[in-house]
Amino acid sequence: MTVTADRQSPTGTGLDPAPAPPAPPKERKRRSPLWAKLSIGLGAVLMVAGGGGVAATKLVVHEATETIAVTDLTGEAKKTVEEGGGTDLEGPIDMLLMGVDARARWAADSVHADTIIILHIPASHDQAYLISVPRDTEVEAPAFEPSKYGGGTVKATEAFYWGAQNGAGWGGGAQLLAKTLKKSTGISFDGAGIINFGGFKNVIDELGGVRMCVDQQVTSKHIVYVEGKPLYLADARKTGKTRKPVVHKVGCRDMAGWEALDYARQRYGLKNGDYDRQRHQQQLIKAMATKATSGGILGNPLKVGSLVKTAGKSLVLDTGDIPIEDFVLGLTDVAAADMVLLRTNSGTFSGNSAGREVFNDISKQMFEAVKNDKLDEFVLDHPEVVASEK
């Protein structure tokens, strides 16, 4: 049975709703620029999808400030004024986007960053690049006092976990991951965002679904059907009823939120494992951007407001002090069609002498190009880093 056979919303079927993100310190709440609010899922999506008019974007800001948690996610990895950071849109923009699988029954300090994406917008502000960082990449995480972590060799996904310990929470997890990636790649960040996977589902449903192209048949490791309804495997087992597999079959089709998200989360059974999953996650972000623009959503203030409210329930963001008007005018030339999907290690496993995944020389050069805002030139010289759209 394919996932196209049932378009039901998982609401009430055992798929946990997205838990409310940890409340940020009140003193950190401030005016949030559009690029911060529209990060991850809705974020990288609507931000690079192009503006819907000044009036609409002002409404977005008003609505989003009521639902989006704002806190420091970049910490010591925040871009300095010397590196091009500041209160205006002059120069390139680099953001760290993190996705976590935080179900309601899981503690805030027990999650890993299963999706790690660096969003780079060059100084020209007419392009957007998404670079996925493999979750199992071996990195050196520095000591982090807020979580009482002493530092060590970990997987990239684990840096978030260790930063969240001892009450540091999601903010601490993001800060340690950002600090770790800065050490590994040399990239500092203008901002960052966290969204849980449930948030992706809700945003996609608010969009009315997205069109995805499955390039390899894969059976879900997370969700099964019980009486035609999608349930997480653990919840399905509790019912004691017959379970049927969710099989994502090759082909292009419209997908509901749970279906698109489940497909983008699969890595076992795919030819290139996590690299294929990274590519599918990038495709999902682009599909969301395309749906938002093609469906006329960005031109309808009411739809935009509803969409941001939905996303805001699952977002934690690090905002800067860039005035919203400046940002809108500066990035309206970036559209969904201008999003370029890039992959580290040319999309295949690259290991060290111990058999652990590391960044190869080409990937290190790509990060250097991001840091120096030379990514356009690098991509022309290294087309192998561009991920396939299908």
Consecutive H or E run containing 194: strand 191-196
Is 123 among the domain residues? Answer: yes
Cα separation of the two ends of the chain: 22
Is 282 among the domain residues? Answer: yes
pLDDT digits (tens, 9 = 90+) for 332-341: 556 656 788 8
Is 37 among the domain residues? Answer: yes
Consecutive H or E run containing 94: strand 93-100
The total number of structural domains in the chain stands at 1
8 Å CB contact between 87 and 321: yes
Which residue type is seen at 345?
A: N
Under the banding of pLDDT at 50, 70 and 90, the label for residue 299 is low
Two structure tokens written together for 175: 């800060």
- The DSSP code sequence of 209-252 is -EEEEE-S-EEEEEEEEETTEEEEHHHHHHHTS--EEEEE-SEE
Residue 227's Cβ-count burial label (10 Å; 0-12, 13-18, 19+) is exposed
Under the banding of pLDDT at 50, 70 and 90, the label for residue 355 is confident
31 lies in which domain range? 3-385
Is 202 among the domain residues? Answer: yes
Under the banding of pLDDT at 50, 70 and 90, the label for residue 223 is very high
Residue 87: give its domain's CATH number.
3.40.630.190
Eight-state DSSP code of residue 137: -
Question: What residues contact 336, with CB distance under 8 A and at least 6 apart?
Answer: 48, 49, 50, 286, 289, 290, 292, 293
- Of residues 348 and 98, more confidence is placed in 98
pLDDT digits (tens, 9 = 90+) for 120-141: 999 888 888 999 899 999 999 9
The pTM of this model reads 0.79
- Of residues 9 and 195, more confidence is placed in 195
8 Å CB contact between 111 and 323: no
Is 390 among the domain residues? Answer: no
Is 87 among the domain residues? Answer: yes
**Of 173-187, 236-250, 273-287, 323-337, minimum mean pLDDT range:** 323-337
8 Å CB contact between 55 and 167: no
Is 261 among the domain residues? Answer: yes
8 Å CB contact between 339 and 130: yes
With both helix axes pointing from N to C terminus, report the angle between 54-64 and 301-312 in degrees, rounded to the nearest 10: 30
pLDDT digits (tens, 9 = 90+) for 75-94: 999 998 888 887 667 789 89
Q: What is the pLDDT of residue 201?
A: 86
Share of the chain above pLDDT 90, in %: 42
From CA 343, how far away is CA 137, in angstroms rounded?
A: 13
Is 221 among the domain residues? Answer: yes
**Of 73-82, 206-215, 299-308, 350-359, minimum mean pLDDT range:** 299-308
